[in-house]
């Protein structure tokens, strides 16, 4: 579903991704772990198309199509979703308004009809209830004055509403209390499907005990330095990244 | 939000550099000779069959004007205006004033149709379900049609062109004209007093709540023509009216001058709500052409418990110089100013308000949202003052500026003068930018950049849009989106 080949990217002339190669199959949940500053968020931004990053080499294929040349909104319409590590605030724009505008923008780009208002409200309410998001919160301006955990939950709400096929989650677990973590993990698990894939960036085994990954990749200094099964996550939790840091330095 | 969606569709449908209202109508017109002189003023006054007192009033204004200098304190720059190169009067030809819509030149009606003006009553009904709008349309210098006149007359409301008011209701005009904005007020107001050509007149008798929204559309069509309309609204005791003006002008390479004067008078317990959607041609991408919009608008809360509220959505004009103000004379009177000023390209906006607290327990509220994009400059300039006797005066001011891109500027220039120790004035101001990260977040969710900007801007101006009558809020939202087109990417 998602294939990243020898991806190099830099910002202001500073190389950050130095040859990332990674494939995620339909139905798969892949986790990426790695020390602070190793380039995990950068990778997620490059996949989603943030234009400050210059891709100097490599490809990102979504369903076999190189998406590096197309705008972020087009990528979203093709079913790519990024849950941000730090979700942005949009003052004055009610969450409902934002959700509807975004959903319809995606639908239109796919040549679909706008969603009927009643269907829209029903869908939003359904996912909001599951994620413990109140109606009052949906009326508030998007992410404005939301707590860290509420913002993360709102990201999952959007993911559930848009039903993307390729979901990238950047540290969705950080800042969540235990109950919220469980709720978010359930939200993700409920979306697991044969034709949907996840790339979950996290620092903690904790999340991966709720969302059990099929594969775990370790990123260090802009590269994937080790890949394995779920056991790799526990190993990392026990030993830390020291070994990998040494590997890349060598 | 569907409105945003629709906006974007509309934007897509038109060429990027195309001012949507930029067509001109080929109608034979009758012009006064070029330039400004006693003769020209005599010509205008004669055309309108004005009484001697008004001609004298105009001539006095002309004399005063010749002694005045163009003001230079606003943060705007433009080449010298050659007042003698302008035409001060242009009327679409074809007999005298039309008595009914049937007599109006069909070309003209077509123009209004293109402007989307609900001139025909059916159109009004079709466009605005439940609500009705009476329209006075001013084309260059004359008022061409006023709808719903009869129904308004039944309620006792007078709504007509100012020229007609001079003929039909001279006692009212004579009593109130220039009583809020005196002939000598400022350079442009004085010029207007000398040469004003048409505009609207509204009188609400005691205790009458106007049964519908009143509205005027202004359009400058002729080349090298200034537009100098004069609007006078009087709300007698206990009455209420909501009034909206909209403005457009065709695309021209030359700059065109618009120097209007609006006077509002609210007597005891009366309320006037005055909304403006200003969309004069802003000039092209390089800053060529566009309207110079030098306007004096002032409301006088003359009676106790009276209220005047100004709402403006300013997206057009090459230069805007305008400060709709309230004189809070009556005790417990209230003044409000809600403003959205959008500038893009090379537009220059210097706008704001004055709230002059004279009476006791007077309250004013100012919410200003400036949005600057492109190479534009956007200044909020406001004065809040309390007179010695204005005990208990209160003001709340909030001015926010939003910058889009690197090359524009936003400035806030508040003046506060209080001569009464019990007056409480609060002032808040913020300047923010649309962050790249915010845009990226929105685009990741499927909105393109233009849709994202429109959405963020709508959020920014929401507090003010809510003050507009519903149907105009939607229109204003579209206008804002069109004006900001091409401001990113
Ligand atoms: N705009 C920028 N300008 C300069 N350096 C940047 C910029 N964005 C990221 N970097 C650098 O790129 C490197 C990778 O950052 P990135 O955010 O991708 O790391 P991360 O793996 O997500 O870290 P964390 O675990 O802390 O979230 C860091 O050294 C960071 O300082
Ligand atoms: Mg990160």
ipTM given for this complex? 0.95
Domain presence at residue B485: no
Ligand 2 centre to CA of A87 (Å) is 12
For strands B290-301 and B325-328, give the pairing: parallel
Tell me, in angstroms, the distance from the centre of ligand 1 to residue A16's CA: 8
Q: Residue B444 and residue A72: Cβ atoms within 8 Å?
A: yes
Structural domain including B409 reads 5-480
Q: Under an 8 A CB cutoff, do B435 and A88 touch?
A: yes
Q: Is B489 a domain residue?
A: no
Give the residue, by CA position, lying nearest to ligand 1 atom 30.
A37
Q: DSSP E strands: which ranges in B323-468?
A: 325-328, 334-343, 348-357, 363-372, 377-386, 394-403, 409-418, 424-433
- Closest residue to atom 1 of ligand 1, CA basis: A11
A98 to B455: CB separation less than 8 angstroms, yes or no: yes
Of A51, A76, A93, the CB nearest to B446: A76
Q: What angle do CA B397, B340, B471 make, to 5 degrees?
A: 120
Set of chain A residues whose Cβ sits within 8 Å of the Cβ of B4: 101
Residue-range domain boundaries for chain A: 2-86+148-249
Per the listing, tokens 């001060």 go with B88
Which of B441, B451, B459 is closest, CB to CB, to A105?
Answer: B451
% pLDDT > 90, chain A: 77
Min distance B291 CA to chain A CA atoms (Å): 32
Q: How far is the CA of B129 from the centre of ligand 2 (A)?
A: 52
CA distances (Å), origin B71, targets A142, B76, B294: 44, 11, 11
CB contacts < 8 A (A, B):
90
If you average pLDDT over every residue of chain A, what do you get? 92
The answer to whether the CB of A11 is under 6 A from ligand 1 is: yes
A84 touches chain B (CB under 8 A): yes
Q: Is A49 on the interface with B (CB under 8 A)?
A: yes
- List of chain B residues whose C-beta atoms are within 8 Å of the C-beta of residue A144: none
Residues B65, B184: Cα–Cα separation, whole Å: 8
Q: Choose from B401, B433, B444, B461 for mutation: most chain A CBs within 10 A.
A: B444
Residue ranges of chain B whose pLDDT lies below 50: 1-19, 27, 94-99, 118-132
Establish if B466 touches chain A: CB-CB under 8 angstroms. Answer: no
The pLDDT value recorded for residue A16 is 95
| pLDDT the model gives residue B6 | 40
Within a domain: residue B281? yes
Our CA-based measurement puts residue B124 at a distance from the nearest CA of chain A, in whole angstroms, of 27
Q: What is the pLDDT of residues A129-160, one digit of tens each?
A: 989 899 999 999 999 999 988 999 999 999 99
Flag if B459 and A101 touch (Cβ within 8 Å).
Answer: no
Kind and range of the H or E run holding B188:
helix B187-195
Where does residue B362 rank: exposed (0-12), middle (13-18), buried (19+ CB within 10 A)? buried
B406 belongs to a structural domain? yes
Protein residue with least CA distance to atom 4, ligand 1: A11
Residue A202 near ligand 1, beta carbon < 6 Å: no
The DSSP bridge pattern shows strands B255-258 and B290-301 to be parallel
Measured in angstroms, the CA of B324 and the nearest CA of chain A are apart by 26
- DSSP class per residue in B62-73: HHHHHT------
Touching check for A157 and chain B: CB below 8 Å?
no
Nearest residue on chain B to A101, alpha-carbon basis: B1
Q: Is A223 in the pocket of ligand 1 (CB under 6 A)?
A: no
Q: Which residues of chain A have pLDDT under 50?
A: 249-250
Between chains, do B445 and A97 touch, taking CB under 8 Å as contact? Answer: no
Q: Which protein residue has the closest C-alpha to ligand 1 atom 18?
A: A39
For an interface test with A, which of B12, B445, B449 has the most A Cβ atoms less than 10 Å from its Cβ?
Answer: B445
Burial class (CB in 10 A: 0-12, 13-18, 19+), A207: buried
3-state secondary structure B118-145: CCCHHHHHHHCCCCCEEEEEEECCEEEE
Q: Does B465 touch chain A (CB under 8 A)?
A: no
Question: Which of B191, B189, B169 has its CA nearest to residue B179?
Answer: B189
Distance A174 CA to ligand 2 centre (A): 10
Please check whether residue A168 touches B, CB under 8 A: no
Residues composing chain A: 250
The residue of chain A nearest to residue B5, with distances taken between CA atoms, is: A101
Q: In this complex, which of A51, A84, A91 lies closest to B441 when CB atoms are compared? A: A84
Ligand 2 center to A220 CA (angstroms): 12
Candidates 3.20.20.70, 3.30.565.60, 3.40.50.300, 3.30.360.10; correct CATH number of A2-86+148-249? 3.40.50.300
CB of A39 within 6 A of ligand 1: the answer is yes
> A158 vs B463: CB contact, 8 Å cut-off?
no
Query: Which residue, B353, B440, B354, B434, is CA-closest to B401?
Result: B434
In chain B, residues with a C-beta closer than 8 Å to the C-beta of A101 are 1, 4-5, 447, 451, 455
Dihedral sign (CA B160, B162, B163, B164): positive
What's the structural domain count of chain B?
1
């Amino acid at each position: 579903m998602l294939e990243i080949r020898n991806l190099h990217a830099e910002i202001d002339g500073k190389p950050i991704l130095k040859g990332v190669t990674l494939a995620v199959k339909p139905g798969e949940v892949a986790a990426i772990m790695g020390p602070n500053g190793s380039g995990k968020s950068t990778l997620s931004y490059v996949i989603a198309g943030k234009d400050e990053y210059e891709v100097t080499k490599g490809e990102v294929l979504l369903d076999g199509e190189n998406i590096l040349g197309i705008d972020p909104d087009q990528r979203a319409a093709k079913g790519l979703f990024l849950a941000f590590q730090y979700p942005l605030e949009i003052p004055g724009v009610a969450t409902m308004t934002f959700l509807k505008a975004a959903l319809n923008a995606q639908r239109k780009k796919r040549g679909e009809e706008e969603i009927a208002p009643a269907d829209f409200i029903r869908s939003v309410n359904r996912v909001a209830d599951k994620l413990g998001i109140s109606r009052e919160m949906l009326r508030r301006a998007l992410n404005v004055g939301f707590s860290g955990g509420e913002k993360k939950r709102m990201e999952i709400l959007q993911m559930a509403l848009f039903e993307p096929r390729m979901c990238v989650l950047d540290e969705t677990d950080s800042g969540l209390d235990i109950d919220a973590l469980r709720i978010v993990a359930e939200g993700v698990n409920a979306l697991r499907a044969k034709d949907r894939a996840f790339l979950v960036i996290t620092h903690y085994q904790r999340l991966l005990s709720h969302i059990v990954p099929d594969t775990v990749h370790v990123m260090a200094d802009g590269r994937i330095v080790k890949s394995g099964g779920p056991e790799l996550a526990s190993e990392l939790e026990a030993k830390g990244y020291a070994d990998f840091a040494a590997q890349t330095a060598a | 939000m569907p409105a945003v969606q629709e906006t974007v569709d509309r934007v897509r449908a038109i060429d990027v550099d195309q001012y949507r209202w930029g067509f001109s109508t080929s109608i034979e017109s009758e012009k006064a000779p070029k330039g400004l002189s006693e003769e020209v003023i005599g010509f205008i006054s004669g055309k309108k069959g004005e009484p001697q007192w008004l001609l004298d009033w105009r001539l006095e204004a002309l004399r005063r004007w010749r002694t005045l200098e163009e003001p230079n304190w606003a943060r705007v720059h433009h080449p010298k205006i050659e007042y003698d190169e302008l035409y001060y009067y242009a009327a679409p030809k074809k007999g005298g004033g039309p008595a009914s819509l049937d007599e109006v030149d069909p070309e003209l009606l077509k123009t209004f149709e293109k402007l989307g003006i609900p001139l025909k009553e059916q159109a009004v009904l079709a466009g605005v379900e439940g609500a009705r709008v009476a329209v006075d349309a001013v084309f260059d210098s004359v008022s061409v049609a006023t709808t719903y006149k009869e129904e308004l007359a039944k309620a006792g409301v007078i709504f007509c062109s100012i020229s007609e008011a001079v003929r039909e209701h001279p006692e009212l005009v004579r009593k109130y004209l220039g009583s809020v904005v005196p002939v000598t007020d400022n350079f442009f107001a004085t010029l207007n007093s000398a040469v004003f050509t048409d505009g609207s007149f509204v009188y609400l008798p005691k205790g009458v709540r106007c049964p519908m929204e009143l509205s005027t559309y202004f359009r400058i069509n002729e080349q090298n023509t200034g537009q100098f309309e004069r609007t006078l609204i009087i709300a007698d005791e206990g009455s209420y009216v909501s009034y909206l003006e909209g403005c457009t002008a065709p695309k021209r390479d030359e700059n065109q001058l618009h120097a209007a004067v609006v006077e509002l008078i609210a007597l005891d317990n009366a309320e006037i709500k005055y909304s403006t959607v200003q969309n004069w041609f802003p000039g092209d991408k390089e800053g060529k052409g566009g309207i110079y919009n030098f306007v004096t608008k002032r409301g006088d809360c003359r009676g106790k418990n009276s209220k005047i509220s100004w709402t403006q959505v300013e997206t057009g004009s090459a230069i805007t110089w305008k400060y709709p103000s309230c004189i809070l004379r009556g005790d417990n009177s209230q003044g409000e100013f809600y403003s959205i000023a959008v500038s893009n390209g090379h537009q220059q906006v210097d706008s704001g308000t004055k709230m002059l607290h004279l009476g006791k327990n007077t309250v004013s509220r100012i919410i200003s949202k400036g949005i600057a994009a492109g190479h534009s400059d956007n200044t909020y300039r406001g004065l809040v003052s309390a007179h010695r006797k204005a005990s208990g005066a209160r003001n709340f001011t909030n001015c926010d500026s939003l910058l889009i891109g690197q090359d524009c500027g936003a400035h806030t220039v508040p003046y506060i003068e209080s001569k009464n120790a019990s007056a409480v004035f609060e002032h808040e101001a913020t300047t923010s930018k649309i962050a790249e990260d915010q845009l990226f977040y929105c685009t990741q969710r499927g909105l393109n950049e233009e849709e994202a900007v429109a959405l963020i801007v709508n959020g920014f101006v929401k507090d003010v849009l809510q003050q507009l009558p519903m149907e105009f809020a939607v229109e204003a939202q579209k206008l804002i989106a069109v004006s900001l087109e091409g401001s990113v990417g």
